[in-house]
A and B are shown apart, each in its own frame.
Chain A
Amino acid sequence: MIADRQIDSVAWAVQPGTNSNSRAARLVAGLTDGGAIRADARYYFHGRTEGSGATVNAGRVLPRIEAGTRSSAILSPVFDPTTARSVSWVDFYDDWSIAPDINPLHRRLAARTYHRVSRLGEDVLVTVNSPYMAARVKARNAVVVPNGVDEGIAHIQPEGDSRLRLVMLGNFFDGRTDWRLILDIARAVSFDEIVIGRPGASKSMQAVIHSLRADYGSRLVVSDWIDDVQLAQLSGSGTIALIPHTVSDYTLSQDLMKVYQLIGLGIRVVCPRLLWPAHLPIDHAFLVDFGASYSSIADWAASPPISERERQDFIRANSWSARGLMIQRLLEGIQA
């Protein structure tokens, strides 16, 4: 990429000093490695934290990028890309305008931004994470660039035993989590172990844990944090994961990153049918909807698991670096 076309400022929601695993952080890291974003780019964020070094607190109410930047990337709809003349790339993931965990002001700003994206010229690349978001933003040329998986997990070997195990990873909160689905599945199948990671502080989740504890006793393991290595230690032929999301506009706007992480670690996934990432094959999914028979999950768990070759192929085809490269090529195509 020619130096004067490099992106020299990035506006996003990532606070300085935080080690974010968000889509925005992953894509920006990939594009910085690829040279599309300058190594010394300025970062603008919205929030309360103080700015430091090359990061600028752009305020919470109407955050803006300073005039004078040559080329900027906007990865949060709280920033309005139509007010900055230098925008080269805009990426929107999840519908922030209806997100239950986003404050009302930022929801409103996000809705305004989605509406205004149609004003951007064709020299601005607009990428989104899901077909819903492609339709949500009013840009005809929005390109769906799905979420990805960290290539590093290719080197983490699954080493769990063959016990019938159900894994659930938070965050869990009202409005997104289907508490009934968790209980129904846990009661329809007698798991050897249920592991819940990052349960959070939701009262509803505490009630679910209480209920599961009554049924499973010590076979229920609750852990405040489960990283990839720990997940790999759980990943065996009988280990499956549940994504207990409600099906709503908000969850349909997401491209479930956990699915990528779990499949990448060799764990098959039970997921609401409409939420399965649109471009991923369904070979290792158990999709649930109205009238689902959860008892057949036990038979499914006993069927052949994800092979190591499938796991490696999946990681290769869906890595964050592949996504970054795709965006870089799209940017080069627009700039050519």
Chain B
Amino acid sequence: MIVDISIVVFRPDFEELRQTFRAIAAVRAEFGRLRLLVSGDAAVHARTRDLLSDVGIDAVVTERFDNLGFSTGHNLLLEESFRSDADACLVLNPDARLEPGALTALIAAVTSDGGEALYGPALRRADTDQVDSLGIEWTRDARHFDRGMGDPFVISPGRVEDVEGLTGACLLVPRIAYDRIVNRSGWFFDDAFLAYREDAELGVRAQAVGVPSRLVHVDGFSHVRAVRGYQRGRELPDLLGVRNRLLLKDRLGALRPGSRVISMVRDLAVAGAVHTVERRSKAGWDSARSIRRFVRSTSVVRARRASSGNPGRQMKVVYLGVESLDYPRNSRIRDYLEHELGAQVSVVRVDKNPGALRKAWVLLRDGHKAIGSGADVVVLAEFQNKYALVAKYLAWRARARLVTDWFVGLHETRVGDWKLHGPRSIRALILDLIDRTAARIADLVITDTDARAQDLSVRYRIPASSILTLPVGAPSWAVPSADVVAVRSEGPLKVLYYGGYLPLHGVDYILDALRITEGIDNVEVTLLGAGELRRGIEERVARERLSAVSFVEPVPETALADLIADADVVLGVFGRSRKAQTVIANKVWQGLASGRTVVTRSSPALEEIAAIVGDLLVTVDPGDPGALAAYLDDAVRHRPRRRDDTAAALEAYVSQRFMTFGDRVNRMVRK
């Protein structure tokens, strides 16, 4: 597990900072990168750089002249960290220390716990035998404190326990927890907070979206704690304390821990104090009051809590015929159903042994069990058109609605792409009948592009209102690399193809184009992946002495993300089948989301994302390899631009389509 360390420095005590850097340097082998955000004037920047140099520790330093605050600062660093290769990031205060071996022990405990929560170590008060924090606990009047503060430091090594929150002074954030919190609640630390209490808010919000906070009993972490936010008497902390209390109230609503009555009494006492004995904090009160609509209305967890109070029962979904839980499309749709619609999703896996009849029988048997406690919706998974009748029967038995994910058709693949059967053969007719049945018997058909939805509607005479487009989108690993540069001007043009050498991909077209590319000496083409047709492609490359081409075996997603990041151009699909005309391939989404130029065949399907990605998407005529060759020649001379804003724009587009899907499913179930 690669773990980065994230530190935000503002008005530091340089002697304390020196000691923290020394402590970090002593455990250099235990983490990936140190990421530092230094706020202040040029002198602060220079002195911090000198300190790093004195201690001899390398760091990725972001220097700012303003103060972004704890939340925004760490959000920036966490985003950078997870955009690169980190699996987790340790949020650390500049006055927190760690001893050799402590981080390794924490990581080991986190790994064995599953790594899906937020984790914090037992924190010792520096240079004492007292507890600094064993997590956060809330009182009945909606204040929060560090658990065990000042108590003798006694822990049970290895123990992992759930707590209400964890101090931001030392917080281990695994990537999976980060993604869940951001995707489900909109952000990690709440930017509305400038400093203090953001960790307590995070704990409550994370819990509300299904990410618990866990304290790990491990020794070796300590905290000097220069500022105690809850001890009054300092103007800025007091003012922010008042402001943050109101922000917590407005952000969390009924989720704010504590007794509602006692909390309200304290709220009134605070209101009274800032208008009388503590007027210096009134600016904090006024600030929170003036943004209360914003704070309330943009709080996802508050809204979710409100909607869960509705009397409707939880929707039950049976997801039938799942081949792989990790398949991006399947995983995303299930995640949306579970976490956005609040549905209870039961997965019925498809049998991995060969034989369509066996698979149908297993689906029927396991599907029966799944609908035993009732179902509102049966979803037939992607690639399973063959079992549409099984799905329809189960939906009928459960009086549920049937949603078919018509993602890949049998006819278009076996007849159109692979040409395994003649277009007029009996088998082709049967495959077409299966695809048609899958589309027609569903209450709702989902497919991946508008062009495909229109094609299905016309071909199988399905009303357009019964088909919805649910784009594939890009997975979370496909994001621009941290070292995005607008243009790479040196070295050969790096061109990447990856995939299973499917006929849909048209790898022969790529080779045809490379043969006539004039600037081929300045092009480096990587063909990554494995598939039935690879051997033939390898033979052709050898025969035609295409020295620019190299072959790479399939790699895990993280390595693939690196290869995409290293490429100037990602190749899409160049097949000429009907299917090729209507799909947006995974690699097209992934390449574009990674901010790289993607060259693919022209297709009406691309129109829906063309405006979003602009000139990153280049289309060529699949009948003319010269078009790709001409593009590559041009790209050798004028290197393609890279962008870092496409992932968010594409994600916004996909999210909107998912919301439409969610509304439709909700309405179907209510009818």
A48 within 8 A of B: no
B612 within 8 A of A: yes
Within 8 A of A (CB), among B33-52: 40-42
Of B259-267, B292-300, B386-394, the one with at least 4 CB within 8 A of chain A: B292-300
Does B486 lie within 8 Å of A309, measured CB to CB? yes
Does B645 lie within 8 Å of A293, measured CB to CB? no
Interface Cβ pair total, 8 Å cutoff: 122
The digit string for A70-96, where 1 denotes a CB below 8 A from any CB of B, is 000000000000000000000000010
B656 within 8 A of A: yes
Within 8 A of A (CB), among B471-512: 486
Does A290 lie within 8 Å of B65, measured CB to CB? no
A246 CA / B284 CA spacing, docked (Å) = 13
A136 CA / B293 CA spacing, docked (Å) = 9
Does A273 lie within 8 Å of B72, measured CB to CB? yes
A316 CA / B294 CA spacing, docked (Å) = 30
The digit string for B624-665, where 1 denotes a CB below 8 A from any CB of A, is 000000000000000000010100100010001101101110
CB distance from A96 to the nearest CB of B (A): 13
Does A132 lie within 8 Å of B294, measured CB to CB? yes
Does A292 lie within 8 Å of B67, measured CB to CB? yes
CB distance from B325 to the nearest CB of A (A): 27
Does A273 lie within 8 Å of B194, measured CB to CB? yes
Does B66 lie within 8 Å of A288, measured CB to CB? yes
Does A286 lie within 8 Å of B65, measured CB to CB? yes
- CB neighbours (8 Å) of A195 from chain B are none
Does A273 lie within 8 Å of B69, measured CB to CB? yes
Q: A122-B663, A247-B287, A296-B65 are in contact. Are A141 and B607 (CB under 8 A)?
A: no
Does B293 lie within 8 Å of A98, measured CB to CB? yes
B453 within 8 A of A: yes
Does B68 lie within 8 Å of A287, measured CB to CB? yes
A32 CA / B151 CA spacing, docked (Å) = 70
Q: A299-B41, A329-B608 are in contact. Are A274 and B191 (CB under 8 A)?
A: yes
CB distance from B480 to the nearest CB of A (A): 12
The digit string for B272-310, where 1 denotes a CB below 8 A from any CB of A, is 000000000001100100111110011000000000000
CB distance from A238 to the nearest CB of B (A): 14
Which residue on B lies nearest to A298, using beta carbons?
A: B41
Does A296 lie within 8 Å of B290, measured CB to CB? no
B236 within 8 A of A: yes
Q: A249-B292, A322-B611, A326-B612 are in contact. Are A140 and B663 (CB under 8 A)?
A: yes
Which residue on B lies nearest to A125, using beta carbons?
A: B656
A300 within 8 A of B: yes
A286 CA / B65 CA spacing, docked (Å) = 7
A252 within 8 A of B: yes
CB distance from A213 to the nearest CB of B (A): 28
Does A292 lie within 8 Å of B66, measured CB to CB? yes
A152 CA / B192 CA spacing, docked (Å) = 35
- CB neighbours (8 Å) of A291 from chain B are 67, 194, 236
Within 8 A of A (CB), among B146-193: 191-192
Does A249 lie within 8 Å of B608, measured CB to CB? no
Question: A300 touches which one: B66, B72, B291, B611 (CB < 8 A)?
Answer: B66
Does A143 lie within 8 Å of B652, measured CB to CB? yes
Within 8 A of A (CB), among B203-242: 236, 239-240
Question: A290 touches which one: B239, B450, B454, B464 (CB < 8 A)?
Answer: B239
Which residue on A lies nearest to B666, using beta carbons?
A: A140
- CB neighbours (8 Å) of B42 from chain A are 296, 299, 302
CB distance from A59 to the nearest CB of B (A): 29
Does A333 lie within 8 Å of B450, measured CB to CB? yes
A279 within 8 A of B: yes
The digit string for A247-265, where 1 denotes a CB below 8 A from any CB of B, is 1110011000000000000
Q: Interface SS of chain A: helix, strand, loop or mixed?
A: helix
Question: B454 touches which one: A288, A296, A336 (CB < 8 A)?
Answer: A336
Which residue on A lies nearest to B662, using beta carbons?
A: A140
Question: A144 touches which one: B284, B645, B652, B662 (CB < 8 A)?
Answer: B652
B610 within 8 A of A: yes
- CB neighbours (8 Å) of A98 from chain B are 293
CB distance from B482 to the nearest CB of A (A): 13
A316 CA / B614 CA spacing, docked (Å) = 10
Does A289 lie within 8 Å of B69, measured CB to CB? yes
Question: A296 touches which one: B41, B284, B298 (CB < 8 A)?
Answer: B41
A102 within 8 A of B: no
A330 CA / B612 CA spacing, docked (Å) = 10
Within 8 A of A (CB), among B63-82: 65-69, 72
Task: Indicate the size class of the contact surface on chain A.
Answer: 35 or more
Q: A290-B283, A291-B236, A303-B65 are in contact. Are A325 and B611 (CB under 8 A)?
A: yes
A135 within 8 A of B: yes
A287 CA / B648 CA spacing, docked (Å) = 23
Within 8 A of B (CB), among A312-336: 313, 316-317, 322, 325-326, 328-330, 332-333, 336
Q: A132-B298, A299-B41, A317-B645 are in contact. Are A273 and B607 (CB under 8 A)?
A: no
A253 CA / B40 CA spacing, docked (Å) = 30
Within 8 A of A (CB), among B288-346: 290-294, 297-298
Q: A273-B72, A317-B645, A336-B453 are in contact. Are A247 and B40 (CB under 8 A)?
A: no
Which residue on A lies nearest to B191, using beta carbons?
A: A274
The digit string for A269-288, where 1 denotes a CB below 8 A from any CB of B, is 00001100001001001111
Question: A329 touches which one: B68, B283, B610, B659 (CB < 8 A)?
Answer: B610
CB distance from B314 to the nearest CB of A (A): 19
A81 CA / B190 CA spacing, docked (Å) = 34
- CB neighbours (8 Å) of A135 from chain B are 294, 297-298
Q: A140-B663, A326-B612 are in contact. Are A293 and B67 (CB under 8 A)?
A: yes
A295 within 8 A of B: yes
Question: A122 touches which one: B41, B293, B298, B660 (CB < 8 A)?
Answer: B660
A131 within 8 A of B: yes
Does A297 lie within 8 Å of B65, measured CB to CB? yes
Does A300 lie within 8 Å of B194, measured CB to CB? no
Does A274 lie within 8 Å of B298, measured CB to CB? no
Which residue on B lies nearest to A131, using beta carbons?
A: B298
Does B236 lie within 8 Å of A290, measured CB to CB? yes
The digit string for A123-143, where 1 denotes a CB below 8 A from any CB of B, is 000000001100110001101
Which residue on A lies nearest to B487, using beta carbons?
A: A309
B469 within 8 A of A: yes
Which residue on B lies nearest to A319, using beta carbons?
A: B614
- CB neighbours (8 Å) of A279 from chain B are 645, 648
CB distance from A306 to the nearest CB of B (A): 14
CB distance from A290 to the nearest CB of B (A): 6
Which residue on A lies nearest to B655, using beta carbons?
A: A143
Question: Which of the listed residues A249, A286, A313 has the most CB atoms from chain B within 10 Å of its own CB?
Answer: A249
A2 CA / B614 CA spacing, docked (Å) = 22
Beyond A140-B659, A287-B72, A290-B239, 9 additional contacts (C-beta under 8 Å) are: A95-B293, A122-B660, A132-B294, A136-B297, A144-B652, A253-B294, A287-B67, A290-B194, A292-B67
The residues of A with any CB-CB pair to B shorter than 8 Å are: 95, 98, 122, 131-132, 135-136, 140-141, 143-144, 246-249, 252-253, 273-274, 279, 282, 285-293, 295-297, 299-300, 302-303, 309, 313, 316-317, 322, 325-326, 328-330, 332-333, 336
Query: Can you list 11 A-B contacts with CB-CB less than 8 angstroms, sorted by A residue number?
Result: A98-B293, A144-B652, A249-B293, A274-B191, A290-B283, A293-B40, A303-B65, A317-B645, A325-B611, A329-B612, A336-B464
For the complex of A and B, 5 pairs with smallest distance between CB atoms: A300-B65, A135-B297, A325-B611, A296-B41, A249-B293
